[in-house]
């Protein structure tokens, strides 16, 4: 069993999934798998139902989503094959071609709306981030946070007993064929154990032994069935440690600590202690007028427990080592790309702000997302990104309009495949893009979060695919969909795909379009 999210599938199953992935360099062919919460045509979406966080467990056996209403919904994987059928396929030398399938498991209310009376500030219940924790004893553990408060939840299977009360009728037939009543007065209430609430009446022999009959009997309750239901319990609450909105949380590989970050500080917590935290990064200047950048995201290294990275609104990523000092004011490495001379404009710093960072599974690379691009960084090379993927270059002429309607401040997330060969991120019009990031790869695929994701798949003229025949059938024609041009770029800013996650062991992506959770596989 995986210690993190209770996945009891055999390790060979995960290995079979990894082996069934496309060969390096071959474009992935994406297919629709599942959808949860799909809304009907014309159906209005409630604000509280919009998904605001998605996270797979480390083994991929579970998936968690959070929404703006403060709820956390858990899904569990159901497609694991039994060992016998898997061994039979191995004997026949047949490939095991499966994709992850999930079903609804449970949901619970993680956060409620609050009001800070000292600051006269309303605190939304919206879930900003979810992170799975290591656990044991067949239970699931995870962290969830809103703007101010982090909570540690444990979800465990509990047996629910259903019982039936088996009582004898008040009227009883006796041996001579006559019927007698067990009580002589309606005012005398019988207790569940067969006694009487009126002691003086109970002393009456007519009550204890009615004439011509037997005493009234009360049989004990009988258990009819047992159901196993998941029950969520909040084990700890980590509060009052951030003056500004929490933008990220991240678990350490040691399984004992985690970090939480807001605009100016990063705090280190122990999972077992909620009464105190340690401030490890503080970028708040003595004079707030001197503030030039803020923290936008923070992430622990997946292997080295002493290393973490955090990004800033100026487009830089700093790598820090917790062994250097208690307060990590100095970074060990900084990753940033310097702008070309003469290219600076009013929007330069806004679009350079990094909204999300992710480590690759082996910890060698960092993927970052700013408003216009995806960048892949090698930890061993801080001179610049090893790859840059254009996502919103077609929006550069519309930056003024995006600034006026605040869309330029949208925070898109990014993700990497478990094998590190592909990266993905969202865009407008409920579109998301998948890029191949192997050396020399020119693969790029645009898909739509719908039951027919391929209708927006294109051959991007700026990054032509290696094999045109494999993607030519998905070439998109201009004017077929309102707000989407011939290159698959959307100008519909009212719909956006901000949140998505890549399954850790297979080529499967979960993404959120408003209140709907779509899943695709390749």
pLDDT category at 457 given cuts 50, 70, 90 is: low
Q: Which residue has the higher pLDDT, 99 or 434?
A: 434
What mean pLDDT is predicted for residues 22-39?
84
- Which tokens go with 31? 């297919």
**Does residue 432 register a pLDDT over 50?**
yes
| pLDDT score, position 498 | 97
Q: How far is CA 341 from CA 312, 337, 344, 352, 473, in A?
A: 21, 12, 7, 15, 42
What mean pLDDT is predicted for residues 56-71?
96
**pLDDT tens digits along 103-128:** 999 999 999 999 988 888 899 999 99
**Does residue 84 register a pLDDT over 60?**
no
Nearest to 76 by CA among 87, 92, 64, 67: 64
Instruction: Please name the helix (run of DSSP H) or strand (run of DSSP E) that holds residue 356, with its range, or none.
Output: strand 356-359
**pLDDT tens digits along 257-284:** 999 999 999 999 999 999 999 999 999 9
| pLDDT score, position 227 | 77
Nearest to 329 by CA among 283, 260, 277, 286: 283
**Does residue 407 register a pLDDT over 70?**
yes
Structure letter (DSSP) for residue 176 = T
Lowest mean pLDDT among 19-23, 365-369, 414-418, 432-436: 19-23
By CB atoms closer than 10 A (0-12, 13-18, 19+), residue 118 is exposed
Burial annotation 177-209 (CB, 10 A radius, 16+ → b, else e): eeeeebbeeeeeebeeeeebeeeebeeeeebee
**Does residue 89 register a pLDDT over 60?**
no
């Amino acid at each position: 069993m995986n210690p993190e999210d209770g996945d009891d599938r055999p390790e060979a199953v995960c290995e079979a999934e990894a082996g069934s992935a496309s060969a390096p360099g071959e474009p992935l062919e994406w297919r629709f798998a599942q959808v949860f919460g799909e809304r009907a045509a014309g159906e209005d979406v409630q604000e509280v139902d919009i998904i605001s966080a998605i996270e797979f467990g480390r083994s991929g056996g579970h998936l968690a989503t959070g929404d703006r209403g403060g709820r956390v919904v858990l899904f569990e994987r159901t497609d694991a094959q039994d060992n016998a059928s898997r061994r039979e396929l191995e004997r026949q030398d047949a490939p095991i071609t499966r994709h992850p399938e999930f079903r609804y498991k449970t949901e619970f209310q993680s956060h409620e709306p609050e009001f800070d009376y000292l600051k006269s500030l309303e605190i939304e219940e919206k879930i900003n981030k979810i992170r799975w924790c290591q656990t044991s004893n067949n239970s699931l553990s995870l962290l969830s946070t809103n703007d101010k408060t982090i909570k540690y939840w444990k979800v465990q299977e509990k047996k629910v007993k259903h019982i039936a009360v088996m009582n004898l009728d008040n009227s009883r037939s006796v041996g001579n064929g006559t019927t007698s009543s067990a009580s002589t007065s309606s005012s005398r209430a019988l207790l569940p154990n067969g006694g009487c609430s009126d002691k003086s009446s109970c002393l009456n022999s007519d009550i204890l032994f009615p004439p011509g009959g037997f005493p009234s009997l009360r049989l004990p309750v009988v258990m009819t069935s047992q159901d196993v239901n998941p029950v969520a319990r909040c084990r700890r609450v980590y509060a009052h440690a951030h003056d500004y909105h929490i933008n990220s949380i991240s678990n350490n590989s040691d399984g004992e600590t985690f970090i939480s970050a807001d605009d100016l500080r990063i705090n280190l917590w122990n999972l077992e202690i909620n009464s105190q935290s340690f401030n490890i990064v503080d970028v708040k200047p003595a004079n707030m007028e001197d503030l030039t950048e803020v923290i936008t995201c923070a992430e622990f290294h997946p292997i080295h427990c002493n290393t973490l990275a955090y990004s800033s609104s100026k487009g830089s990523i700093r790598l820090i080592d917790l062994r250097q000092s208690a307060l990590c004011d100095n970074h060990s490495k900084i990753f940033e790309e310097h702008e070309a001379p003469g290219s600076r404009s009013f929007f330069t710093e806004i679009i350079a702000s990094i909204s999300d960072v992710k480590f690759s599974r082996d910890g060698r690379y960092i993927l970052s997302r700013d408003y216009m691009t995806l960048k892949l960084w090698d930890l061993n090379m801080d001179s610049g990104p090893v790859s840059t993927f254009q996502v919103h270059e077609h929006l550069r002429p519309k930056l003024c309009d995006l600034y006026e309607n605040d869309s330029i401040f949208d925070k898109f997330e990014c993700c990497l495949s478990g094998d590190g060969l592909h990266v993905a991120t969202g865009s407008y019009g409920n579109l998301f893009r998948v890029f191949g990031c192997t050396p020399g790869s020119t693969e790029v695929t645009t898909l739509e979060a719908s039951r027919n994701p391929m209708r927006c798949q294109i051959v991007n003229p700026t990054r032509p695919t290696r094999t045109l025949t494999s993607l030519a059938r998905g070439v998109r024609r201009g004017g077929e969909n309102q707000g989407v041009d011939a290159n698959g770029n959307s100008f519909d800013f009212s719909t956006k795909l901000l949140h998505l996650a890549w399954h850790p062991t297979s080529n499967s992506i979960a993404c959120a379009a408003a209140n709907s959770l779509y899943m695709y596989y390749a």
